[in-house]
Structure 1
Amino acid sequence: MKIKYECYPCILRQSIESAEMVSADDQQIKQIIKHFGEILAPALDSDFTAPMLAAEMQKYIKKLNRIEDPYFDLKEKNLIQARKLMPLVEEEIAAAEDSLLAALLMSAMGNSIDAGVSLNVNIKENIDQAIADSFAHSDYSCFKEELQTAENLLIIADNTGEALFDLLLLKELKTYNLKITYAVRQLPILNDITAEKAEELGIGEYAEIIKSGTTAPGMLMEEASAEFLEAYQKADLVISKGQGNLEGLLDIEEDIYFLLKAKCEIIADVLEVGLNDFVFLHR
């Protein structure tokens, strides 16, 4: 999905926030803004996606400040907040008429924890919204039918906080006769999940954790690892979590279920839903 003009201010804001997290001084922030201007013209004249541009800015910030993971503290904060609400979410799934559908909805709800959009997310409000509104678009019936005969499922993961809610989805999916693979980022980027953290959260109990190869906050097939490509080609079902993965895959890949919250007008328009709607879309 080619980057839109409206994405540029958002990525610049995101870059300045990243710099402030690592206590960059005024001179460093000026350098970051200057670098953004330097790469803006090439991006305008190419097939850049938003994750590509964000990755370039994050790479520069890490190099400038000599830090590997600017979002480490935020990710830990997100996990503390999410853990407090896990019992509530577990109760909702257990009480639902269709527990798998409820787990998918709560996994989509977890996608609200997105540092690329906002550093301050009220998870409880998002849980309440998901319970009240459910999916604005859902291809669940198609997914449920395919699930009956599927042997291999690939989940392309997104944010760290939402991985806790993915864990509840994995527990539901594990009741099916499936090999599940959970693909994470190659390196720390924004507040996205890494292999080490996925293992720490217990995801390895329900799925094989692999590194996707991509260093962007979204799946870029040109960066895909051999391990990811093998899992992708073998998969009977693919679930792509979040906006960044959607931006990287929507226009170039087919037969994917996109599970997310539409957190910006551009994504909402592309998916033909409202802003902040929850979506489970098959393309």
Structure 2
Amino acid sequence: MECVAECSPCYLKQVISAFEAAGLPQERQKEIIKEVSKMIPDVDDTKSPAENSSILLLEAYRLMGIDDPFKEAKERSNTFAMELYPRLRNMVLNAEDPLMMAIKMAAAGNIIDMGILREFDVDKSIEDALSMGFALCDYGQFRDFLNKARKILIIGDNSGEIVFDKLLVEQLKRYHVDIIYSVKSGPILNDSTMEDAIMVGMDKMADIIENGNRYLGTVLDACSEEFIQAYKDADLVISKGQGNYESLEGKEIAGDKTFFIFRAKCPWVAKRAGVNYMDLVFCQNRMRE
């Protein structure tokens, strides 16, 4: 997905979220935002919004002198989600279709986004997932791939949300598949890293790999050979979050084996997916290249 004019304010919104997470003094915020704003005219609009956001964010991190401004917030979101986990797991196990319920829960967890949505209501997101479901749902196609799969790659998104993904991993393991769960190689916003995976116990349920970079989304040119090989070897890929949709949707490597689970938190992303703003989406990749 290429950038549009409306992406620029969102870049800065995410930078400001980092300021707030770090408790940066207002005067220092003003200084850094002026410096980071100078980069906007030079961003490559053919790149995904996720990649361009990352470039500005990482420069802001450098100027702040803080490598992980969301560290404490990520730990809190993981702890909060783990407290919910037993109740959510019971809901999945008692559902008429536990796999579909787990997919809905994984989608509900995507509300935990500290870059775009500074305030979010997890309980409301769960309620939405159960009552309204997906605006776009390719569950039948997903089941077809799952029934034939031996290797599954899950591309993780945010801390906190990773706990909701455990519900999905539990259900997928019933299909006797090998599951790899990928995380970022370094901190960016509240995206999951190896530290988060270990904290919530995902490493006990799936093989964890880092993707080789700390960009938002999945910037293929910056990914490690290990990650790219895991993507190619997978019979089924589950991509979590809007940033991964922005950067992978329509790509050749995604093929028809990639399924996106996310909440459309941007009007332009919603339009791209053919849904309304803030709708939940569970869709198969559609080739555009």
Regarding TM over 0.5, the answer is yes
Which piece of structure 1 moves more, 218-227 or 194-203?
194-203
TM-score normalised by the chain length of structure 1:
0.95
Residue 27 of structure 1 and its aligned partner are, at CA, apart by 4.0
Which piece of structure 1 moves more, 247-256 or 91-100?
247-256
SS of aligned partner of 2:39: helix
Corresponding letter in the other structure for 1:108: A
- Do residues 274 (structure 1) and 281 (structure 2) align? no
List alignment gaps of at least 5 residues for structure 1: none
- Do residues 259 (structure 1) and 261 (structure 2) align? yes
* CA RMSD, Structure 1 to Structure 2 (Å): 1.5
C-alpha contact (below 8 Å) 1:28/1:64 kept by paired residues: no
Give the number of equivalent residue pairs: 282
Corresponding letter in the other structure for 1:37: S
1:132-190 deviation per Cα after TM superposition (whole angstroms, max 9, x unaligned): 11111111111112111111100110001110000111011111121111011110110
Residue 32 of structure 1 and its aligned partner are, at CA, apart by 2.3
C-alpha contact (below 8 Å) 2:154/2:179 kept by paired residues: yes
> Which runs of structure 2 are paired with 1:153-192 in the superposition (5 Å)?
153-192=152-191
C-alpha contact (below 8 Å) 1:50/1:247 kept by paired residues: yes
* Equivalent-residue separation in structure 2 for 1:203 and 1:70 (angstroms): 23
- In structure 2, the residue matched to 1:241 is 240
- In structure 2, the residue matched to 1:137 is 136
- In structure 1, the residue matched to 2:18 is 18
C-alpha contact (below 8 Å) 1:210/1:228 kept by paired residues: yes
Which piece of structure 1 moves more, 57-66 or 129-138?
57-66
- In structure 2, the residue matched to 1:64 is 63
List alignment gaps of at least 5 residues for structure 2: none
TM-score normalised by the chain length of structure 2:
0.93
> Which runs of structure 2 are paired with 1:171-250 in the superposition (5 Å)?
171-250=170-249
- Do residues 3 (structure 1) and 3 (structure 2) align? yes
| Structure 1: 4+ residue segments shifted above 6 A | none
Residue 37 of structure 1 and its aligned partner are, at CA, apart by 2.5
C-alpha contact (below 8 Å) 1:241/1:258 kept by paired residues: yes
C-alpha contact (below 8 Å) 1:85/1:124 kept by paired residues: no
